Amino acid sequence: MSTSGGGARAAAGAAGGFSAELRAAAAATWEAQHTHPFVRGIGDGTLPLDRFRHFVRQDYVYLVDYGRLLALGCARAPELATMRRFAELTQAILVTEMDLHRAFALEWGVAPAELEAEPPTATTRAYTDFLLRTATLGDFADLVAALLPCMWGYAEVGARLAAAQPPPAAASAPDAATPAPDAAAPNPYARWIATYADPEFQALAAWCRELMDRIGSAADVPTRARLHDVFAHSSRHELAFWDASWRLEPPAI
């Protein structure tokens, strides 16, 4: 690690806690997510529907294992208040979020049976294997560093895309392979954007960042370095996940 890199990390940590330090160190990967054609296509409504359907199906597969990750967080949390919060998050993912996901999927032409039968792509499998392996072999701090890029990343994407939207208009699901790039037409993905820009979801992401800040403030230098690696690795998986749906990656064999 270079001296200048260490200085940047220290400055980021002082400005916004350990989570800000992690985010600053992985800034190139995060900005690549925001500028990826898949994310930009959601933002301006021009993303081809076949790519979004691919994403919806794979995201459902991912959420099943993300629920397992949160359940492990509940089991490994060091105190009752954090256990309770992870239990609430697990419930929110496995019940509320997945029910909402099924309802949204229907709007975009993906039946619940398709979601349940969807096999993972190699990218999805690599990501969920990394999350569960990290949570199982590492400690609670590793688990939090691994899950944070997903929760925080979606909150950041949702907030940025929402801020860039034109004045609200009634949104509807697209009925063609590619939504027409008509400035007067509503963004067909407006409800998806609103889900992750919602204050309740933003608050969940903020709680996860605060938890990471508390963990980082108590960690020694080797632990902080390890958590940087975990966070960076998970962030790269997030970027790869967007890209896999852009490429219409087929299921793994």
Residue range 222-239, pLDDT digits in tens: 999 999 999 999 999 999
- The closest alpha carbon to 154, from 33, 16, 29, belongs to 33
| Alpha helix segments (H runs only) across 112-180 | 112-117, 122-137, 140-163
Contact 252, 181 (CB under 8 A): no
Mean pLDDT across 31-41: 98
According to the model, what pLDDT value does residue 92 have? 86
Asked if residue 65 has pLDDT above 80, the reply is: yes
Half-sphere exposure of 240 (CA within 13 A, CB side): 15
pLDDT > 80? residue 24: yes
The predicted-structure confidence for 89-128, as pLDDT tens digits, reads as follows 999 889 888 988 898 899 888 999 999 999 999 999 999 9
d(CA 66, CA 207): 17
Mean pLDDT of the chain: 89
pLDDT for the residue numbered 146? 99
- pLDDT, tens digit, for every residue of 235-244? 999 999 999 9
Q: Exposed, middle or buried: residue 232 (CB in 10 Å: 0-12, 13-18, 19+)?
A: middle
For residue 252, what are its two tokens?
A: 């793994």
Tokens of 48: 């081809």
What is the DSSP annotation of 84-128? HHHHHHHHIIIIIIHHHHHHHHHHTT--HHHHHHPPPBHHHHHHH
| Other residues' Cβ atoms within 10 Å of the Cβ of residue 174 | 21
Give phi and psi for 251, each to the nearest 5. -60, 150
CA distance between the termini of the chain: 38
Domains of the chain: 48-163+189-246 (1.20.910.10)
Confidence of residue 253 (pLDDT cuts 50, 70, 90): confident
Average the pLDDT over 137-157 and give the result: 98
Task: Please determine, for residue 173, whether its predicted confidence score (pLDDT) is greater than 90.
Answer: no
* Residue-level pLDDT at 15: 47
Cα-flanking dihedrals φ and ψ of residue 87, to 5°? -65, -40
Tell me if residue 238 is catalytic.
yes
Which of the following is catalytic: 97, 118, 150, 208?
150
Q: Hey, what are 94's tokens?
A: 């496995």
Residue of 21, 97, 118, 238 marked catalytic? 238
Active site residue 150: yes
CA within 13 Å, CB half, 2:
4
The three-state secondary structure class of 55 is helix
**pLDDT value for 224:** 98
pLDDT at residue 213, rounded to an integer: 98
Q: Average of pLDDT values for 163-188?
A: 64
Predicted confidence at residue 222, as pLDDT, reads: 98
Q: What is the pLDDT of residue 4?
A: 33
Q: In the structure, what pLDDT confidence band is assigned to residue 132 with cuts at 50, 70 and 90?
A: very high
